[in-house]
Structure 1
Amino acid sequence: MIRGPVIETPRLILRPPLAEDLDGFCELMADEDAAKFIGGLQPRAAVWRTLCMMSGAWSIRGFSMFSVIEKSTGNWIGRLGPWQPEGWPGTEVGWGLLTLAQGRGYAAEGASAAMDYAVDSLGFTEIIHCIDPKNAPSIKLAERLGSRKLGEAVAPAPIPHTVWDVYGQTADTWRARRLE
């Protein structure tokens, strides 16, 4: 059962995660390059807990990351969207895609739709992106979306010893940009 909206873009379907997405989540977190900046390699049991946490956030917070489905194939290719666990430095829209889906503009397409949703439906007044300073592709995407570096933030427990660069923009800045 889907507990949240389904958003369609020209090439993607964004929907709340389902149990059937576990293999895709596991593939993402077993790919060293794809997982490097989103928690690192993780065994299946840990990925299951992450999937349940993201799914549960739809019930508790009323929002969470979406599973990203490629329309042309029906394949799960990643997760992205609004994210704000307890202790998070702000109202984030984040992303993580399988290596095979990177470099095709999917992250920008999906993140743009998720930012529209966060501003228009969830009422976010600011959108941030917590990015490892070594993650050049995500920094480039954040800047492409119109975000700028706002500062740094220390990740909350249980994420150990992680300091992010925080990129972001106000909802008004996003609204003005997306109209261009």
Structure 2
Amino acid sequence: MIAPTLHTARLTLRGPRLADFEHWAAFFASDRSRFERGPLGRAEGYRTWAADVALWPLRGYGAFGLDDRTTGAYVGEVGIYQPEGFPEPELGWFLVPEAEGKGYAAEAARAVIGWVRARFGWDRLVSIVDPANARSIALGLRLGGVIDPTLPGVDPGDVVIRHDLGGRR
């Protein structure tokens, strides 16, 4: 499957592009990625990014690149992740530093949730968050999610936020 294009008031959500990797590599090479599988060297980062991109043809979902609709600037990615070892599809996000604090992740995540609800009819999504990542936990809760200690994470101590979708899974 090729990723669809979604629009919000301020963002275009579109399939990944090779040029996105440069932003991804910079993020994942920095200490800012410590809650998100990082930091990663460039080669390892490319393999991880490429595996995430491959979710689109393999599973029919994946991460959307986010572009500011006014400037065209890349601001990050939001989407559905499920690398090997994840217990179920995960709603996740990251933004480039200059895009943080503007509500882009929440805006894009709401669009992705709506797309998932319409496309797959799942009962839920989860966000699996490092317990020290207070900003991502807050975002998951702001999106209407609830912390569910009965659901498995990936690493011991993960905070798992359940996003109820009201579908059929």
User: TM-score, structure 2 length as denominator?
Assistant: 0.89
Aligned residues: 166
Which residue of the partner structure matches residue 109 of structure 2?
A: 111
State the distance in 1 between where 2:35 and 2:7 align: 26
State the distance in 2 between where 1:102 and 1:143 align: 17
CA contact (8 A) 1:153 1:163 kept: no
Q: State the identity %.
A: 32
CA contact (8 A) 2:68 2:74 kept: yes
Which residue of the partner structure matches residue 22 of structure 1?
A: 21
Read off the aligned partner of 1:28 and give its amino acid letter.
Answer: F
State the distance in 2 between where 1:39 and 1:113 align: 24
- Give the unaligned 5+ runs of structure 1: 156-160, 174-180
Query: What CA RMSD, in Å, does the superposition of the two structures yield over aligned residues?
Result: 1.9
CA contact (8 A) 1:7 1:113 kept: yes
Residue from 39, 42, 59 that aligns with 2:40: 42
- Give the unaligned 5+ runs of structure 2: none
Which residue of the partner structure matches residue 158 of structure 1?
A: none
State the distance in 2 between where 1:59 and 1:92 align: 17
CA contact (8 A) 2:89 2:126 kept: yes
1:14 is displaced (CA, Å) by 1.0
Residue from 120, 124, 127 that aligns with 1:126: 124
Residue from 157, 165, 174 that aligns with 2:159: 165
State the distance in 1 between where 2:123 and 2:83 align: 17
Counterparts of 1:41-60 in structure 2 under 5 Å? 41-60=39-58
Q: Deviations over 1:128-177 (max 9, x none)?
A: 1101111111111111111110016341xxxxx5541101132129xxxx
State the distance in 2 between where 1:52 and 1:3 align: 15
Which residue of the partner structure matches residue 31 of structure 1?
A: 30
Structure 2 residue matching 1:39: 3-state secondary structure: coil
State the distance in 2 between where 1:46 and 1:86 align: 15
- Misfit runs of 4+, over 3 Å: none
1:46 is displaced (CA, Å) by 1.6
